[in-house]
Structure 1
Amino acid sequence: MLNSITLEALRALDAIDQKGSFAAAANSLHKVPSALTYTIKKLEDDIGSPLFDRSQHRAQLTPSGKLVLEQGREILKATDRMMESVQQLESGWERHLRIARDTMIPCDPVFNTIQDFNKLGQPLDITLSVEALGGGWDALHSKRADIIIGATGELPKGLFKTMPMAEVSAAFVVAKDHPLAEFEGELSSKDLEPYTSIVIPDTSQLLPARSAGLFTSRNTIRVDNVEAKIKAQLMGFGVGFLPRHLIKEHLACGDLIEKQCYLPRPPIMMYIAWRADQEGKALKWFANALGATNWKAIL
């Protein structure tokens, strides 16, 4: 009967698929292989369909097995979410926190904050991700992140809590060997048009995408983070704006040369932000710790 299907059986099926064999799965679950074989056989009897094709040297999932595994994983995820919610309700500490940083934010301050949190001895699974432009607000809006470091642009009203960090300024730069390196004066759109631009696209998935510092160019190279953009411009692939705090050394040694550009690019304020309806102790700890970081010195 379908109501006989247990979470233990679904976890066994998931482990076999993840580990590639009954023996490896049994080891990961701290069981003997015979116990795992019995669990899967009982699951097959309960469902009334074989989950594995055992005619080959290595057992392969049948179409029924794939279906049970796919939907079983959704059940396991829902169960884990339920348990996390219960644990948070009882203790106030969430079990999982998703932290996203804008690509202009260096990772070291984030890692230092995590290191400080680990000293508390409080169990917490942390997922780190990177966003660009409006992607930070979008990550909070779509609930793929719990807290964002370096959100920019217009502040949504009512939905989020925010802390100001520091203003970030950008410089329009070219590599020392780029044809524009010797250009004198302010670059116009006509001056830039023959050259390739290096851009980081907005990572928004639901909210409207934003753009910054775009100009008409012969070609465009899109990269997914600021480190790649800096590398591409150092190699002379193209030109564009880069955050000053990340290229200070390159400007000082002359590898990158700043140019005046017709495009306005005033400094922008960055914010730490999180959803106003979140009450977890881990989120509050990180919000306070990140808010106390000396971002003006970093940025």
Structure 2
Amino acid sequence: MAARAIYTVLVCAAALLLALASPSAGLSLDTVREFLTREEDTIVFSLIERARYPLNRPAYDPIHLGDGDGAGPGRRLNASFAELFIRESEAVQSKAGRYQSLQEIPFFAYRVPFTLAPPFNFTRELYPAAAFVNLNDAIWSMYFNELLPVLANNGDDGNYAVTVDSDLACLQVLSRRINYGRYVAEVKFRGDQQTYTSLIKAKDRDALMKLLTSEAQEDVVKRRVEKKAIVFGQSITSDGPIETSVSNSSQANFKVDPSVVYKLYDQWVIPLTKQVEVEYLLHRLD
């Protein structure tokens, strides 16, 4: 009975997920831009949620997982509470059908179980031989080693489960946003096949990176996400309209530091996305 109840919950969750996920209306520059712009909102809100909690370092150290004598399951498995939490969460979400969509890539793919969700015919826009490209390992390392220390304040409030749950939300949206570079590369390839084919055959990474880069557009994106962090990160009152001027941001108390969001896009999101694009293109003719 318990197994049947669990299965029922998973199938219902899968049905809800699939109902919310509509098939692509067709890959184009417009649909790509719309997707990436919408992901900015999700990223900023996810960062705001994680910034609510202190750093909570014990959640990321295997020695702290267990019975307090250093001999717990984390030490034996060489895994932290955060890693085990994310592994198990991905396993449940896989059973619910999350990873049927190529936009979603698990961090622990080798541990993802067979899905219990009903199959769904997601639109397949990616070139099959290049669809495997992803930078989840780099995203994981960047998030825990570089972003998290500047996002969260030092401290330990013991709320490890909710803290790591918010980490998972950040990781998933960053993975989806950065690895969406595969779709960006595909639509750009379709728009200029002759030029890209020549560079791909020559395996000219530098030329591909240059062709994919628009510094003016990148600056627009970085400034926009910084402003979103300012707008979304303010405490709203009934005293009047909120101030959204970037020039006044240093005097305000934001839920997430807008400069951290700018840095995230400047140093990691945009460069890693372009790296995904290049790797995808190098396999586009396989």
TM superposition score category, shorter chain reference: under 0.3
With CA pairs under 8 Å and 6+ residues apart, which has the higher RCO, 1 or 2? 2
Looking at CA atoms only, which structure, 1 or 2, has the larger radius of gyration? 1
With structure 1 as the length reference, what TM-score do the two structures score? 0.21
Instruction: Select the structure that is richer in strand.
Output: 1
Tell me the TM-score normalized by structure 2.
0.22
Question: Which has more helix, going by share of residues?
Answer: 2
